[in-house]
Amino acid sequence: MTVAVHWFRNGLRLHDNPALIEAHNNAEKLITLFIFDETTFNPKWYGYNPMRFLLESLIDLNNNLALVGGRLYILQGNPVNIFKMIKEKIGLHFITYEQDCAHLGRTRDEKVKSFCDENDIKCIETVSHTLWNPKSIIEKNGGVPPFTFKQFQNTAKQIGHPPSPVGNVDWLSVIFEELPASIQDEFKNLHNPTPETFGIYPEVPENLTSTYRWYGGETRALEQLKERLEYEKEAFVNGFYLPNQVNPDLLSPPSSLSAALRYGCLSIRKFYWELTKLFINKFEGDLLPMYSVTSQLIWRDYFYTMSIDNKNFGQIEDNPACISIPWNDIKIPENKKMLECWKTGKTGYPFIDAGMRQLMQEGWIHHVVRNSLASFLTRGDLWISWVEGLNHFMKYLLDADFSVCSGNWIWVSSSTFEQLLDCPLCVCPVSYGLRLDPSGEYIKRYVPELKNMPAQFLYEPWKCPESVQKQVGCIIGKDYPNCIVDHTIASKGNRKKMLALRVSMTNENRVPHCCPSDREEVQKFMYLPDECMQQLLPLENQDSKAYDIYKSH
């Protein structure tokens, strides 16, 4: 009898899984497995929260397979060696899996494809982690990825709507094949693994009692989808889109599905089409506006397309998606110390510190807070490379995906050398935070040292009189750190660096790079008020001549 292996990687779900359907349709027996492989997995790359979410997703997938008579084998080792042993012990005719857009994953997959070619095994790769096939976007765009989101949108429109979700597998007709004990032993099959299985432990005690606990798995993701659709429906009724970006809520349980999408516990195409149907039913229209919630999903595809053929997408050197910037050298002790203060939430700026501590406690931060943290580290204050921020986020964010996370960091940092993002107020760690959390409750939740600080000093505790500091039990410089940098001075200096860079971009040395499409896109992405946008053009008089030179090129 013919045997197919469906190899779960990112698409950790049974619904809308075309590769799983291919396995069932092409073979008489089915094996389902997940592999912690040596190419794409290293416990040192994972923080406690992301690892727990991943393992919960695998356990949930195994439970759902058990309901239809199957099981998920969670193996450890080289995929080629695993498939080779399956072929020898059982026979193997088909291997199916979902497309991986990351370079490490694609390198691994090429080795599997070569093995299949050499052993008369049919390898079937399907596209379901993205709305469109990134390769099709690139081909339609003349063989190169679109460098702006608007350009991506225009290219995608030429291709047409994303495919609709596929139906479910007919589980009554599936015959599951068991893996022999010899294979399970050889590749250390895991039963109900936890982060501790891999030597990963909570980074801070608060992990055990965090305000919000994220749960991985398809079951919870589909429940969250229903909740999110109700949330979006209410927003549609009230006449606006992106409800949690129009009015960011930093304190309530998050409505984000980003972690479920990252691991494929929820199909991106199901999410997209459910939202589309919701809009059509409500407004009798056939397309969602550009800045509806589906725009956020399309941003995700944009970054996947930028990365799929770019092995250097997560670095500065030889990366065509970004500009090479002379960031501060973190080998210098002072810069290294500032980076460490940013990572641990000890910058002396309460809003920044609250965001960084939430990351370590819960593994998630609201999109608009992430922008503030990224700006502070890079162009706003510390002038430290976005790569340092990327590496930290990749380890601790639940939804950290190489393509999307890299793309966001490139856009917020490197592309901010575009004049469109050159407003000194946009990235102020005080005023930006006040707009998002005027009551200061977000700060009090994650920076408990300041919980008794009077409201007027909560965002600028260094201005609090010493007598009041003693009264509330928080001495600045002792119980809570002094500011590691003066934002006013640092932001002015960094703005001059940006200007110098723009002026240097003549026709001879200006390079294409990931950048904003226009002012509206910047305002939506960064959650900026009109007064910030009004400061962008014209620039200050002393900058206008230099900007004219830049603009002419």
Is residue 546 part of an annotated ligand binding site? no
CB-based contact 512:410 (threshold 8 Å): no
Residues recorded for the chain? 553
CA count, 13 A, side-chain hemisphere, 43: 12
Does 18 sit behind a cis peptide bond, omega within 30 degrees of 0 on the bond before it? no
**Residue 360: strand, helix, or coil:** helix
Is residue 297 part of an annotated ligand binding site? yes
Is residue 381 part of an annotated ligand binding site? no
Residues 6+ apart with CB under 8 A from 251: 437, 441, 442, 445
CB-based contact 292:242 (threshold 8 Å): yes
Widest CA span in the chain = 82
**Residue 513: strand, helix, or coil:** coil
Is residue 291 part of an annotated ligand binding site? no
How far is residue 168 from each of residues 16, 18, 64, 230, 360, measured CA to CA in Å? 7, 9, 13, 24, 37
Which amino acid, residue 343? Answer: K
DSSP 239: T
How far is residue 424 from each of residues 238, 362, 427, 541, measured CA to CA in Å? 33, 30, 6, 15
CB-based contact 324:509 (threshold 8 Å): no
Query: CA–CA separation, 349 vs 482, rounded Å?
Result: 8
CB-based contact 125:20 (threshold 8 Å): no
- CA-CA-CA-CA torsion for 522, 524, 530, 534, nearest 10 degrees? 10
CB-based contact 101:130 (threshold 8 Å): yes
Is residue 543 part of an annotated ligand binding site? no
CB-based contact 293:300 (threshold 8 Å): no
Is residue 309 part of an annotated ligand binding site? no
Nearest to 172 by CA among 79, 67, 20, 33: 67
Which amino acid, residue 422? Answer: D
Query: CA–CA separation, 135 vs 139, rounded Å?
Result: 6
Is residue 484 part of an annotated ligand binding site? no
Per-position DSSP letters for 105-163, written without gaps between them: HHHHHHHHHHHHHHTT-EEEEE--SSSS-HHHHHHHTTSS--SSHHHHHHHHHHH-SPP
Query: CA–CA separation, 310 vs 307, rounded Å?
Result: 5
Is residue 399 part of an annotated ligand binding site? yes
DSSP 225: H
Is residue 171 part of an annotated ligand binding site? no
Nearest to 80 by CA among 126, 45, 111: 111
Nearest to 303 by CA among 129, 117, 523: 129
Is residue 471 part of an annotated ligand binding site? no
Provide the CA 277 distance to its chain's centre, in angstroms: 26
Is residue 409 part of an annotated ligand binding site? no
DSSP 59: H
Question: Computed over its alpha carbons, how large is the radius of gyration of the chain?
Answer: 25
Annotated binding-site members for FAD: 241, 296-303, 399-401
List residues forming the annotated binding site: 241, 296-303, 399-401
